[in-house]
A and B are shown apart, each in its own frame.
Chain A
């Protein structure tokens, strides 16, 4: 998709610039994404509009083509890096404008597993969706998860696993939450390529999410539903 000719992004009208940014994200062009982000901000776009319309929407397209086997892991990583370049500019502005965070997420790859590409992508998209994300990294054991829940009191716990041998560990974490009587204080989302919805149900998660876009939609929906139920109860 990339053009050999140098394109003057600032000469494009808003809608063409946003479309161009979707292409640039797709092509993993971090500098262009940073430039486009700055141009839109200079045109008095709000940080959250830039985030949603240019970056998150662009990554959604990348996610679809990844799912359909058109893009592969390296392209997705480059796109994610490009999105990061935009996020770096937007993050302080989002914090400053006090754009509401819709909730808090603690996320990590489970014990025994150090695959983190998918987990990082989910963390980034959740941040893009307005969540405050605490990333515990890789090889996370049950104590680390529980300590983080205790410390951060998130709405959501997210667990990722890419190995058949490590996915059962999710049940260990959830069972321990049940034992301690804190399971229902949190929503639990699980994901990773070898998982499926049936598995998610079997380990007692609230939802399994196939990809980062589904994860951010599901996270938003479940958090809102839970808040509504809480306020009805009150």
Chain B
């Protein structure tokens, strides 16, 4: 197949998903996918996510045939969807990454079973100190711990590619927050299935998929 026929595919994602998206892309040997990330800091300023995504989509839609927006709703209160639609892009399913890693029914179950649960992913375990601890100002103001986590009882590590070291770090994080620790290996969950669906739709070279498009 000549190079020119392959669609130009962009994944425009939250920085906290970079490693996982690259993993899924590599596992499936998709070669024509470009990954671009927006700053992880947007996570705590979700009101800025729609504008940041739109700005990048406006330019990228000239260059790429298919674009996957690597965000869930992420607290934008539904404001990301019309932008994604306007540029004919697709976004990841659900409310947030914890939900699509665990998959929706499982996440709902976890949430229901113990509402006072804080979730960590591989990314958050690796960067717990910077993103969670310092992000909430607990390094400077440890007395705020109870204000943040007074209603929490458990920390669940939803792992993608757990190593003993990561599991230990997650457990240490739970201890630091005074929460009970649980580990659930979710792997990539709906991140994988939705990227696969998207790639299948984009990959016009595969005959059986061409029919379904």
Contacts and interface: CB of A to CB of B under 8 A. Distances in A.
Partners in one complex: yes
A138 B151 contact: yes
Contact of B137 (A73, A112, A195, A196): A73
Given A163-B95, A164-B95, A194-B46, A77 B76 contact: no
Contact of A73 (B76, B96, B111, B136): B136
A164 B96 CA distance: 9
Interface in B37-89: 44-47, 73, 75-79
A131 B108 CA distance: 37
A25 B140 CA distance: 17
A213 B115 CA distance: 30
Interface string A115-156: 011000000000000000000001100000000000000000
Interface residues of A, number: 25
A77 B77 contact: no
Contacts of B140: 74
B136 A114 contact: no
A74 B75 contact: no
Nearest to A78: B141
A29 B153 CA distance: 29
Contacts, number: 57
Given A69-B45, A164-B95, A112 B75 contact: no
Which size bracket describes the interface of B in this complex?
20 to 34
Contacts of B162: none
B144 interface: yes
A75 B137 contact: yes
A72 interface: yes
Contacts of A199: 77-78
A215 interface: no
B95 A193 contact: no
Contacts of A77: 137, 141, 144, 147
A77 B79 CA distance: 27
B178 interface: no
A193 B47 contact: yes
B177 to A, nearest CB: 14
Contacts of B189: none
Nearest to A138: B151
A74 B139 CA distance: 11
Contacts of B95: 163-165
Give the one of A117, A139, A163, A195 with max B CB within 10 A.
Answer: A163
A47 interface: no
B115 A74 contact: no
A112 B136 CA distance: 22
Nearest to A192: B77
27 contacts: A28-B141, A73-B136, A74-B136, A74-B137, A74-B140, A77-B137, A77-B141, A77-B147, A78-B141, A81-B147, A112-B115, A114-B151, A114-B152, A116-B151, A117-B148, A162-B75, A163-B75, A164-B77, A164-B95, A193-B47, A193-B75, A193-B77, A194-B46, A194-B77, A195-B77, A196-B77, A199-B78
Interface of B: 44-47, 73, 75-79, 95-96, 111, 115-116, 136-138, 140-141, 144, 147-148, 151-152
The 10 A-B residue pairs with the shortest CB-CB distance, nearest first, are A74-B137, A194-B77, A164-B73, A164-B95, A165-B95, A114-B151, A194-B75, A74-B141, A77-B147, A77-B144
